[in-house]
């Protein structure tokens, strides 16, 4: 069967070419997430400083701001936030059909923690948004800008092997890493999200202003490694589900505060965040960016991540042994973390 015209358009758009990274990862303009971002940007108002891709997307799609499917997607973003909506979106097949993946191909943590919205309904509204707003034409007109964004990201991440670090730190990384620069999403408080399906993990990196990604290398390095880590943490927790609760004692003496406490209201989400933010400190030191590691750590303290110093101190002895080849990855020793924190 010959591909439909829409499918042919999607495959031929130059902006959708990917760029390889070390360790088997890639930078990709992911059509499913780009379509979602365009729908969320359509009804937005211009901001003081936004990337040109936001502006051109809004100008192109604003005539569809009241389109029932675009309105529905905006409502869902308020209900389940960008994380939930993006997580469900990557459980769909390729544009333009956005067909749901079979249930046995959806990760268990997605089925458990991200059950909404229904995939059939989400796919239906994304397909209507893609086709009615003629997203292939928009993306084709933005080809040069999207290529520039990919090259911008590669200028920072091109010499870094995130996958190798993830395998060393967490013990395994069976997924294929895709760094997704979502430069067409209207700026918000969201820095990025980490989502995954059975085959791929997407480190979705958003821009909060017109500044390029390489204008702040630490932010991009942090985002890419951080968001790449969320799915693997969810995966290793399957074999150690009681660990977050066993670490909760630390918050009695070092309670979270500030922006961190406002955004992450339950302990389980804070636990995962602290562990991953601590891993970023190790990552930055591993790639020789000690000054950035110090800046990262101070930034976490300023945000109210009161326990991060304790997590780093608890993990350092294991990390020295791990790097020397005398200890397994964190996936094999996670149940020991509460006792390490008590030292």
Quote the CA–CA distance of 290 and 58 in Å, as a whole number.
40
Q: Does residue 8 surpass a pLDDT of 70?
A: no
Question: Which residue in 213, 208, 206 sits closest to 157, CA to CA?
Answer: 213
Phi-psi region of 304 (alpha: psi -120 to 50; beta: other; left: phi over 0): left
User: For residue 201, what is the enclosing H or E element?
Assistant: strand 200-206
**How confident is residue 189, by pLDDT bands cut at 50, 70 and 90?**
confident
End-to-end CA distance of the chain: 64
Tell me if 119 sits within 8 A of 92, measured CB to CB: yes
Tell me if 91 sits within 8 A of 110, measured CB to CB: yes
pLDDT, tens digit (0-9, with 9 covering 90-100), for 196-232: 999 999 999 999 888 899 999 999 999 999 999 998 9
pLDDT, tens digit (0-9, with 9 covering 90-100), for 52-109: 999 999 999 999 999 999 999 999 999 999 999 999 999 999 999 999 999 988 999 8
**How confident is residue 15, by pLDDT bands cut at 50, 70 and 90?**
low
Q: What is the pLDDT of residue 13?
A: 58
Q: DSSP labels for 121-158?
A: HHHHHHHHHHHHTTHHHHHHHTHHHHHHHHHHHHHHHT
Q: What is the pLDDT of residue 339?
A: 98
**How confident is residue 188, by pLDDT bands cut at 50, 70 and 90?**
confident
Residue 329 has a CB neighbour count (10 Å cut-off) of: 18
pLDDT, tens digit (0-9, with 9 covering 90-100), for 295-325: 999 999 999 999 999 999 999 999 999 999 9
pTM of the model: 0.91
Q: What is the pLDDT of residue 1?
A: 40
pLDDT, tens digit (0-9, with 9 covering 90-100), for 240-297: 999 999 999 999 999 999 999 998 989 999 999 999 999 999 999 999 999 999 999 9
Q: What is the pLDDT of residue 190?
A: 86
List the chain domain ranges.
Answer: 17-141+161-233, 240-341
């Amino acid at each position: 069967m010959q591909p439909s015209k829409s499918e042919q358009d999607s495959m031929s758009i130059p902006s959708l070419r990917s760029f390889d990274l070390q360790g088997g990862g890639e930078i990709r303009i992911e059509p499913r997430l780009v379509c979602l971002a365009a729908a969320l940007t359509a009804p937005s108002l211009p901001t003081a400083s936004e990337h040109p891709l936001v502006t051109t997307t809004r100008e192109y799609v604003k005539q569809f701001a009241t389109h029932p499917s675009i309105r529905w997607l905006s409502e869902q973003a308020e209900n389940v936030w960008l994380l939930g909506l993006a997580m469900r979106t990557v459980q769909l097949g390729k544009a333009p059909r956005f067909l749901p993946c079979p249930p046995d191909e959806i990760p268990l943590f997605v089925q458990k923690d991200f059950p909404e919205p229904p995939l059939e309904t989400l796919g239906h509204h994304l397909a209507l948004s893609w086709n009615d707003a003629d997203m292939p034409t928009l993306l084709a007109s933005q080809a040069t800008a999207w290529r520039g964004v990919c090259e911008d990201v590669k200028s920072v991440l091109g010499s870094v092997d995130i996958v190798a670090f993830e395998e060393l730190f967490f013990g395994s990384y069976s997924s294929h890493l895709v760094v997704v620069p979502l430069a067409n999403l209207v700026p918000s408080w969201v820095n990025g999200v980490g989502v995954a399906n059975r085959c791929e993990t997407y480190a979705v990196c958003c821009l909060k202003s017109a500044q390029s990604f390489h204008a702040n290398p630490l932010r991009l390095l942090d985002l890419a490694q951080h968001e790449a880590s969320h799915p693997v943490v969810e995966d290793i927790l399957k074999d150690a589900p009681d660990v977050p609760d066993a670490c909760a004692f630390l918050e009695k003496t070092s309670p979270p505060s500030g922006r961190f406490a406002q955004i992450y209201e339950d302990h389980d989400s804070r636990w995962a965040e602290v562990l991953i933010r601590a891993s970023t400190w190790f990552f930055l030191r591993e790639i020789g960016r000690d000054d950035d590691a110090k800046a990262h750590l101070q930034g976490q303290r300023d945000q109210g991540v009161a326990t991060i110093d304790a997590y780093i101190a608890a993990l350092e002895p294991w990390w020295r042994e791990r790097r020397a080849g005398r200890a397994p990855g964190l996936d094999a020793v996670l149940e020991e973390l509460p006792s390490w924190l008590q030292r």
